[in-house]
Amino acid sequence: MIRLSKSELIFKIVTVLFVTLFGLLAFYPVIYSFSASISGKIAYEAGQITLFPKDVSFQVYELIYNDKGLWISFINTLFYTIFGTAWSIIISALGAYALSKRRLLFRRQFNFLVVFTMWFNAGMVPLYLNYINMGVDNRWGIIVAFGIQGFNIILLRSFFEAIPKEIEEAATIDGANEFELLTQIFIPMSKAAIATVTLFYATSRWNGYFWARILLNDPRELPLQVYMRILIENYQSLFDDMPVDLPYAADSYIFAVLVVSIIPVLIIYPYIQRYFARGVNLGGVKE
Amino acid sequence: MKNKNDAEQNKQYTRTIMKDYRLYLILLPIIIWYILWFYKPIAGLLIAFKYYQPNLGVMDSDFVGFSNIASLVEGNFSAQFWRAFRNTFVINVYGLIFGFPIPIVLAIAFSEIRNTAYRNVVQTLSYLPHFLSEVTITGLVLTLLYNGEVTTGVFAQLLIDIGLIGESTRIIQSADYFRPMFIITGIWKEAGYSSIVYFAAVMGISPILYEAIKVDGGNKLQELRYITLPGMAPTLTIMIVLRIGQMLSVGYERVILLYNANTYETADVLSTFVLRIGLESGNQSMGASADLFNSLIGFMLVIGANFISREISESSLW
C-alpha cells in the first residue's frame, strides 16, 4: 500500500465524492421517472416520492399499452431510424471514399463543398421554403432530405486515407474495380469508424424532433418524439376531461411515456458505448 | 490561344473522368445531396432582399433592396430582434462561464479514480443523458420543476424547501429562471459526454512527470497547476476557441421546448425569433433577413476561431 500524503488523501476523497454525485445526479431523473410513474396518485401529489415508489401499481402502463398513437409513432421512429441511418451512412461512405482519393480531379474544391457545410447554414426560413418547394413534407422526405453531417464525412474520409496504398494496389492488380475496392476492402477495414458514424447518425435520427414537427402533417407519420411532445403539451387537459377518477396522477402518465422513450436507449447503450468515446476523440481530424 | 488551351484542358479532364468514371459515380450522390439540401437553400436567402410572396416563389418575388433589413435593425421588428440577439449572446456567455469548466473538472476527477471498474460505471452514467432526446430531457425538466396550484415537481419542492424560491413562484413561467434552467439542463445533458475529450487529454500526460513532481515534494494542487493543466493546454485552447466560434448558435430545439410566451424576455433567441416571425406568422422575408444576419456573423466567428486555433496550435479542426 502506497502511503498517500495528506493533500492527496483530501483530493482523492473530494474527487470520488464529486464524480459519484455527478453520476448519480445524471441518472436520478431516470430512476425518479420510473418510480413516479408507478406510484399512486395520493402519494405522488403529496410529494412523498423522492426515490422509491409508493402504492405501486402498473396501471398507467396499461393506458400506454392501449395508446395506439404511441405505438404507431414508436414504429414510425424505428422506420425513420433504420432507413434514415442506412441512407445517411451509404451516402456519407460513398462520398468519403471518393474524397479520400488523391487522383480525384478538383479534390480540394469538392472537399471544400463538404467542409463549408460545417461553417455556414442557410437558416430556418430558406430551409423550410426549400423543403416545401421540394415536397419533402412526408415520410420519405424526412429520410431523404435530412441527416447528412459534414463532420461524419470528414471523419470517415480520414479513416479511408489511413488505409495503406499497397492493399489497394494489390487488389487493383487482382482485377477489383472501384465498387469492389470500397465494399470489400475499405469498408471492412474501417469497421470501427463506420460503427461510430452509424451510432452518431442513428442517435440523431432517433431523437430528431424539430423538422418532423414542422413538416409532417399526417398524424399517422409522426415520430415518437413529436407524439411525446404533443402529449406533454396537452396531458393536463386530457386528464381533466377523463370521466373517471384515476388511481394515478396525470404526471405519472407523462413519466411513464418518458420511461418508454428512455428504455430503448438503455437497452442498446451497453453495446454502443465503446464506440462513442472513440468517435469523439477522432474529432480532432485535420484536412 | 487561351481558348485552345482551355479546350485541350477540358478534353483532358473528360478523358481522365471517363477512364475513371466509377470514382466520379461514387462521388455523385453526396454532391447532389448537398446541392439540393444545402446550397439551394442558401440561394433562398435572396428573399431577405425581396418582398416574398408564396404564390410567386423565391425567384419571381419583387426586389425591395435593404428595406427588410432596415425594419429588422431599426424599424418595426427592431425591439424583438435586438432582444433576441442579446439573449442569444447572454445565454452563450453564461454557457461559457458555467458550462465550459465543468467537463474539465469532471475529466480531471475521473482521471484521479484509479479503480477502473468504478470509474467506468460513473463515466457511463454521466454520458447517458447525452443520448436521450431533447424532448425527453425537457419533458423531465418541465415536470420536475412544475409548480402550479399544487407543487408536484420534486425539484420545485426542493427549491421551495431550501428557501431558494417562494411558494408561489412558477419557475417555468418566470423569465428570471429561464437562463439558469436552460444552462443547468445543458450541463446535466452534456457535461459528462463533453468530458471525454478532456479525459483523453489528461490520460495522455506522461506519468513520469507526475512521479518527478512527487519526488520534488510537490503537493496535489501543485501537481494540478504545473502538470495537469499545462498538459491539457492544447485541448483547452482549441475547445475554448471553438466554443467562442459558436457564440451565436444556441441549441434552439431546447429553447423551443423549454420557453413560453411568459419567458420571451430572457428566452427568445435568434432562431426562435425567426421561427415565430418567419414560419409561424408567415413573414418569410423578415425571417430570412434575421437568418442572413445570424448566419453571416456566425460564419465570421467560426472562421475567426478556426484561424486563431490554427495560429496558436498545430491542430485545427479542419
User: Is the pLDDT confidence value at B91 over 90?
Assistant: yes
Q: Quick one: residue B166, left, alpha or beta (phi over 0 = left, psi -120 to 50 = alpha)?
A: beta
User: Is the pLDDT confidence value at B313 over 70?
Assistant: no
At A280, the pLDDT band (50, 70, 90 cuts) reads low
Residue A52 lies in a domain: yes
Total domains present in chain A: 1
In total, the C-beta contacts within 8 angstroms joining chain A to chain B are: 267
Residue A286 lies in a domain: no
Which residue stretches of chain A are H helix?
A: 6-37, 41-45, 59-65, 68-99, 107-116, 124-133, 139-144, 150-161, 165-173, 178-181, 187-189, 191-207, 210-215, 224-240, 250-281
pLDDT, tens digit (0-9, with 9 covering 90-100), for A67-117: 899 999 999 999 999 999 999 999 999 999 999 998 898 999 999 999 899
Are residues B135 and B53 located together in one domain of the fold?
Answer: no
Q: pLDDT value at position B4? A: 64
Out of A46-55, A177-186, A278-287, B160-169, least confident range: A278-287
Are residues B26 and B84 located together in one domain of the fold?
Answer: no
Residue A287 lies in a domain: no
Phi, psi of B112, deg, nearest 5 = -80, -20
Are residues B133 and B249 located together in one domain of the fold?
Answer: yes
At B234, the pLDDT band (50, 70, 90 cuts) reads confident
Q: pLDDT value at position A1? A: 44
Q: pLDDT value at position A2? A: 56
Q: How far is CA B305 from each of CA A166, B187, B317, rounded to the nearest angstrom? A: 38, 23, 10
From first CA to last CA, the distance across chain A in angstroms is 48
Are residues B147 and B227 located together in one domain of the fold?
Answer: yes
Are residues B79 and B54 located together in one domain of the fold?
Answer: no
Are residues B273 and B236 located together in one domain of the fold?
Answer: yes
CA distance A42 to A122: 51
Total domains present in chain B: 2
With beta carbons under 8 A apart, name residues in chain A contacting B26: 94-95, 97-98, 178-179, 182
Helices A250-281 + A191-207 axis angle, to 10 = 150
Residue A64 lies in a domain: yes
Sequence length of chain A is 287
Q: What 3-state DSSP class applies to A263?
A: helix
What's the mean pLDDT when you consider all of chain B?
Answer: 88
Instruction: Tell me the whole-structure pTM to 2 decimals.
Output: 0.89
Contacts of A133 (CB under 8 A, 6+ apart): B57, B58
* Full residue range of the structural domain in which residue A90 is found: 6-281
Residue A86 lies in a domain: yes
With beta carbons under 8 A apart, name residues in chain A contacting B18: none
Residue B89 lies in a domain: yes
Are residues B110 and B208 located together in one domain of the fold?
Answer: yes
CB contact under 8 A, B124 and A133: no
CB contact under 8 A, A258 and B139: yes
Nearest CA to B56 out of A129, A214, A123 is that of: A129
Q: How far is the alpha carbon of A232 from chain B, nearest alpha carbon, in Å?
A: 7
Which amino acid belongs to residue B95? G
**Closest CA in chain B for residue A176:** B22
Out of A81-85, A189-193, B147-151, least confident range: B147-151
* Full residue range of the structural domain in which residue B207 is found: 67-312
> Bridge-partner residues for B151, per DSSP?
B147
Tell me which range, A100-114, B26-40, B280-294, is most confidently predicted by mean pLDDT: B26-40
Interface test with A, best of B11, B15, B20, B27 (most A CBs within 10 A): B27
Q: Is the Cβ–Cβ distance between A181 and A168 less than 8 Å?
A: yes
CATH number for position A188: 1.10.3720.10
pLDDT, tens digit (0-9, with 9 covering 90-100), for A229-270: 999 888 877 777 766 677 788 888 889 999 998 998 888 887
Out of A165-179, B64-78, B126-140, B235-249, least confident range: B235-249
User: Is the pLDDT confidence value at B175 over 80?
Assistant: yes
Q: Could you tell me which residue, A278 or A272, shows the higher pLDDT?
A: A272
Are residues B107 and B233 located together in one domain of the fold?
Answer: yes
Q: Average pLDDT of B93-105?
A: 92
Residue A158 lies in a domain: yes
Helices A68-99 + B21-34 axis angle, to 10 = 130
CA distance B227 to A182: 45
Last residue of a domain, one of B12, B45, B63: B63
Nearest CA to B107 out of B177, B199, B17 is that of: B199
Contacts of A57 (CB under 8 A, 6+ apart): A38, A40, A247, A248
Residue B318 lies in a domain: no
Q: What 3-state DSSP class applies to A40?
A: coil
Residue B221 lies in a domain: yes
Residue A248 grid cell = 394515478
Last residue of a domain, one of B63, B79, B104: B63
User: Is the pLDDT confidence value at A46 over 70?
Assistant: yes
With beta carbons under 8 A apart, name residues in chain A contacting B282: none
Last residue of a domain, one of B26, B44, B63: B63
Q: pLDDT value at position B67? A: 85
CB contact under 8 A, A125 and B44: yes
With beta carbons under 8 A apart, name residues in chain B contacting A19: 106, 109-110, 113, 119, 122, 126
Are residues B49 and B130 located together in one domain of the fold?
Answer: no
**Closest CA in chain B for residue A43:** B152
